[in-house]
Structure 1
Amino acid sequence: MRWLLALWGLPLALFWSWYFLSYYDYNFGYIMLSRQVHDLVFELYGKALGIDPKLLPGMIAKALVLDSFILAGIIAFRRRRAIQDWFRARRRLASHMRPSLNA
């Protein structure tokens, strides 16, 4: 499970790190982090997809949210018995802590 999260999270962390560093032109002397490369990359992707390059970051963010929900669903499905046991134990504990109306 750790490998799945690492293989999912590492590329996202790298992309968003690059995106924000290049967007605000914090290049630290590296050409890949410059604003010119940022604009060129999104212009190329925009032309390849046939859409406005300014729409791409929002589309990528929406895809990230969708992928996160899909990944969370897969993890929840694989651990559904443990989640059910945890939920039942929590309800059982809450019912014992609730004051009785007959008292």
Structure 2
Amino acid sequence: MRYILILWASPLLIFWGWFGLSFYDINFGYVMLTRRVHDLVFQLYGQMLGIDPQTIPALVAKACIFDTLIVLAIFAFRRRRQMGAWLRMRRERYLGTVSSPRA
């Protein structure tokens, strides 16, 4: 699961890091981090997709949120027993030692 999280998070960090630095033109001397390259990249993607280039970051953000929800659902499914035990422990601590309603 660790490798899946790394393979999921790495492209997100690279893209959003580039996006933030190039959007605000914080280039540290690198051409790829300039605002001109930022605008050119989204202009090219907009032409290829046939949509307004200003809508692309919002579409990418929605896709990242959807992918994040899928990865978190997989993680929760794999850890469901541990999470259930943790929730039962928290409930018992909050309510005191009350027997289960099925008993």
**TM-score of the superposition, structure 2-length normalised?**
0.88
Aligned-residue RMSD, C-alpha: 1.5
Q: Indicate yes or no: 2:98 matched with 1:84.
A: no
Looking at both structures, which has the greater relative contact order when contacts are Cα pairs under 8 Å and sequence separation is at least 6?
2
**Which runs of 5 or more structure 2 residues have no equivalent in the other structure?**
99-103
Does the residue aligned with 2:96 lie in a helix, a strand or coil?
Answer: helix
Hey, what does 1:101 align to over in structure 2? none
Q: Which whole-Å deviations, capped at 9, do the CAs of 1:34-64 have from their partners, x for residues lacking one? A: 1111111101111111110000111111111
Runs of 4+ in 1 over 6 A off after TM superposition: none
Q: 1:25 Cα deviation (Å)?
A: 1.1
Hey, what does 1:67 align to over in structure 2? 67
Matches within 5 A, 1:8-27: 8-27=8-27
- The alignment covers a number of residue pairs equal to 98
Are the structure 2 counterparts of residues 6 and 27 from structure 1 closer, same or farther at C-alpha, using a change threshold of 3 Å? Answer: same
Q: 1:97 Cα deviation (Å)?
A: 7.6
Q: 1:2 Cα deviation (Å)?
A: 2.0
